Amino acid sequence: MRPTHEETITQKTIGILGGMGPEATVDLFSKIVKGTRVRRDQDHLRILIDNNPKIPDRTLAIEGKGPSPLPSLVESGKKLERMGAHFLVIPCVTAHHFHGDLQKRLKIPVLHIVEETIRYVLLRFKGIHKIGLLATTGTLRTGLFQKALTENPIELLIPSTQTQESKVMEAIYGAKGVKAVGPSPYAIRLVRQAARELMKKGAEAILAGCTEIPLVIKDGDLPVPVVDPLWVLARAAVEKAGGRWKET
């Protein structure tokens, strides 16, 4: 069904605080557009994007090796706020380590990708007891997903230290990794190897806990489900904005 005039005028504008990285920002935008149920251009939601790749690296900041990204996050957030965004989404999991401090400095809400993802996992995969996490070292160190699952019955499995650095981080940050050259066959191979290690440990699903990971591994690529937080965030954004999600 086409949205009524009343529904259209009450819809909210989505702000994407992007650039971390640009490929993930494009992926989130695409998922929102493709996931919104429409019949014409005018049925789509209004989306504002600040693709700011100059925001300092989140993992380096968490490790104490680089400047905090918070000032740049606040700057971009306030810019989107002034432009008319009613709420924000951030296509970077590691950046959510700074979510609380960012939210305090903005007048509009910022959806939390980890909270939305865990809520989806608990509703969608009620029978799962172990889930494997592929994420940046920064995300692992902050314990974003671990904390979100503290009071839930799902055990979170992470790669060995060697696999984390030589496969997961290499696939994301390496010279032939996603941030450098996009979803290359090299990055795909490394991520699949890391995922298989987690499956050997008993993972009944794989959580793509870095927004670059879904660019190289998708649901259907493995014998177990692959959970894409960007897809979850896109759906949450569409619904919060007053749009209609296209069920598949």
Q: Annotated active-site positions, please?
A: 92, 210
Question: Bridge-partner residues for 16, per DSSP?
Answer: 49, 89
Nearest to 156 by CA among 211, 117, 113: 117
- The torsion angles phi and psi of 108, rounded to 5 degrees, stand at -105, 155
Work out whether the CA dihedral 149, 154, 160, 166 comes out positive or negative: negative
Those residues with Cβ within 8 angstroms of residue 185's Cβ, 6 or more apart along the chain or in another chain: none
The DSSP result for 101-155, as a single string, is HHHHT-SS-B--HHHHHHHHHHHH-TT--EEEEE--HHHHHHTHHHHHTTTSSPE
Look at the alpha carbons of 180, 28, 121, 103 in this order and tell me if their dihedral is positive or negative: positive
Task: For 210, list phi and psi in degrees, rounded to 5.
Answer: -130, 140
Helix (H, G, I), strand (E, B), or coil: what is residue 99?
helix
